[in-house]
Amino acid sequence: MEYIQIGKRKIGPRFKPLVIFELGINHNGNLKFAKKIVDEAINCGAEIIKHQTHIPEDEMSEEAKKIIPVHTKKNIYDIIKSCALSEKDEFKLKKYIERKKCIFLSTPFSKAAVDRLVKFGVKAFKIGSGECNNYPLVDYIASFKKPIIMSTGMNDISSIRKSIKIINRHKTKYAILHTTNLYPTPHKLVRLNALKQINKFFPKTVYGLSDHTGDNYTSFAAVSLGASIIEKHFIDKSSRKGPDITASVNSLQMKDLMRGVKLIHQALPGNITPVKEEKKTAEFAFASVVSNRDIEEGEILTKKNIWVRRPGTGDFSAEEFKKLIGKKIKTKVKKNTQIKKKYF
């Protein structure tokens, strides 16, 4: 799998890394506020804006009301219920994003959410880390044969393999994102080397990082390790309130991220060999064999009467210094001038 494609956007090692703007639930259930964040995302250069499709009654059981996430004081059911958009509002959000010439992507957290997104005519699905090992839901999502981007936080290679096996059975194209599900994630728990594991265990698979740190450092590093996708929670202003704000980057940070991943990707190709653009630099930076003092006709060259100095435009490079030792010169040579082939 050299690349996956969502709409007209091709995603893979040969293409500029895709930065997914994770709107998530940062709108706090307010469509007007969601549109404001979208406007700012577009201003930052967004190509794909990702939402979260929550239908609490289909997504969670009553027991969820007893679960309080580590980064908040409210139970998860109430958090999601207060942040979920209605079907009508989410469809309006999708259309608004698309009118801005941007791709709408969303994570369905339940079967009903999948059905809603299919009804919307989405171009692809995002599978969250919590659903990576929800094999019945993975199977249902993959059955629609739309491209899938799957996060893998809280999972291991064994559980990821099971999901990939299901996705492959449906012949659905996919990408894998390494993730740490802490909001925000301490840098020491990002584990960037996991990207190498993904590349090893799932060769030729498009991969990336869903980055929940509050800055861009690990995202930049991920691109240098071959990440084709960076997903970041986004908010227009860091002063906003909400459950995921501390794991979100603001407009200034996102603009820096967009520029950085582009430049890093441009800097990756190539190997240790001179590039043609360095030729002029090499002319003055490299050294040539020169006379270390006045040399008389018939004199034998030694380490005392020749040496190496810039520029590198002479007949004999510094690498050839030793092979000239012991050779007889046929003409007088002035001090500190390049040794020529015609002198022999």
Nearest residue to 237 via CA among 37, 39, 65:
37
User: For residue 241, what pLDDT is reported?
Assistant: 85
pLDDT at position 71 is: 72
Beta-strand pair 18-24/248-249: unpaired
Whether pLDDT at 1 is above 70:
no
- The mean per-residue pLDDT over the stretch 9-17 comes to 97
Question: Is the predicted pLDDT of residue 27 greater than 90, yes or no?
Answer: yes
Q: How far apart are CA 156 and CA 163, in angstroms?
A: 11
Q: Among 116, 100, 99, 96, which residue's Cα sits nearest to residue 108?
A: 116
pLDDT for 325: 98
Q: What is the pLDDT of residues 174-212, one digit of tens each?
A: 999 999 999 999 999 999 999 999 999 999 999 999 999
pLDDT band at 56 (very low <50, low <70, confident <90, very high): very high
For residue 268, pLDDT over 80 is answered with yes
The domain at 276-343 falls in which architecture? Alpha-Beta Complex (3.90)
What share of the chain has pLDDT > 90, as a percent?
95
Cα–Cα distance measured from residue 161 to residue 6, given in angstroms and rounded to the nearest whole number? 23
- Overall average pLDDT of the 279-288 stretch: 96
Q: Report how far residue 53's alpha carbon sits from residue 75's, in angstroms, rounded to the nearest whole number.
A: 18
Q: What is 11-267's CATH number?
A: 3.20.20.70
Question: Cβ distance 53 to 24 under 8 Å?
Answer: no
Fold: same for 11-267 and 276-343:
no
Q: Residue by residue, what is the 3-state secondary structure of 165-194?
A: HHHHHCCCCEEEEEECCCCCCCHHHCCCCH
- Judge whether residue 239 has pLDDT over 90: no
- CB neighbourhood size of 235 (10 A): 27
What is the residue extent of each domain of the chain?
11-267, 276-343
Whether this model's pTM surpasses 0.85: yes
Which is more confidently placed, 243 or 198?
198
